[in-house]
Amino acid sequence: MDSEAFVRAFDVIFYGALGGLDIEWRPHYISYMSNKSATLQLCIDRNCLILQLFHIDYLPEALKTFLADPNFTYVGIEVGGDIEKLRTEYGLECSSSADIRELAICRWPGRFRRPGLKDLAIEVANLCMKKPNHVCMSNWEARVLNENQVEYACIDAYASYKIGHKLLVETGIMAS
């Protein structure tokens, strides 16, 4: 399914829903510098889209509209930073987002200090996930992502979605 079809289908099926959002970029070995976002990962329910922004000639209007729709809330760890990176690098806007780390810290004061996605996945959503460093630090600008990168990207977006769903939808904070 291409990105236009994915967006159109989910805009209808999951109107007013929650989506996991994450981005990846090729690591920069100078700690205070960052390369341009190479991929955008979205997950709604059990459906994931990996968009290779680094190799795309144009951004589909349907994607821009979908991301900017205030009826969708995008969740992830430090998702605001990801959204800001998407805005400055590609002109993409997201109207509504929630940081799942902050939500978990507010929900369970004193339980977490600064949990990562892997920590929240097991504690909140009962998901055990691998985050191999060699995949995390791999070349996300590659024209063809390898199987490990695709799996990693989908798992990150899916875990963000599941954690957000547990914290927002299943608690009644957000309607399903």
Question: For residue 9, is pLDDT > 90?
Answer: no
Q: What is the pLDDT of residues 62-107, one digit of tens each?
A: 899 989 999 899 999 999 999 999 999 999 999 999 999 999 999 9
Q: Are strands 73-76 and 97-99 parallel, antiparallel or unpaired?
A: parallel
Cα–Cα distance for residue pair 136/167, rounded to 1 Å? 26
Give the domain CATH number at 97: 3.30.420.10
How many structural domains is the chain composed of?
1
Residue 176 within any structural domain of the chain: no
Short-list 28, 30, 7, 33, CA closest to 19: 7
Asked, for residue 133, whether it belongs to a domain, the answer is yes
In a domain, 141, yes or no: yes
Decide: helix, strand or coil at residue 156: helix
Q: Minimal CA–CA distance to 14: which of 163, 165, 123?
A: 165
Residue 112, token pair as written in the block:
């977490």
Q: Does position 118 have pLDDT exceeding 90, yes or no?
A: yes
Q: Which of 63, 58, 53, 45 is nearest to 6 (CA)?
A: 63
Residue 174 domain flag:
no
pTM of the model: 0.89
Domain holding 123, by residue range, is 3-169
| Predicted local confidence at residue 141, as pLDDT | 96
Within a domain: 149:
yes
Q: Is 171 helix (H, G, I), strand (E, B) or coil?
A: coil
Q: Where are the alpha helices (DSSP H) in 18-171?
A: 61-68, 79-90, 100-107, 117-125, 133-136, 147-164
Average of per-residue pLDDT values in the chain? 90
Q: Map 123-152 to HEC letters.
A: HHHCCCCCCCHHHHCCCCCCCCCCHHHHHH
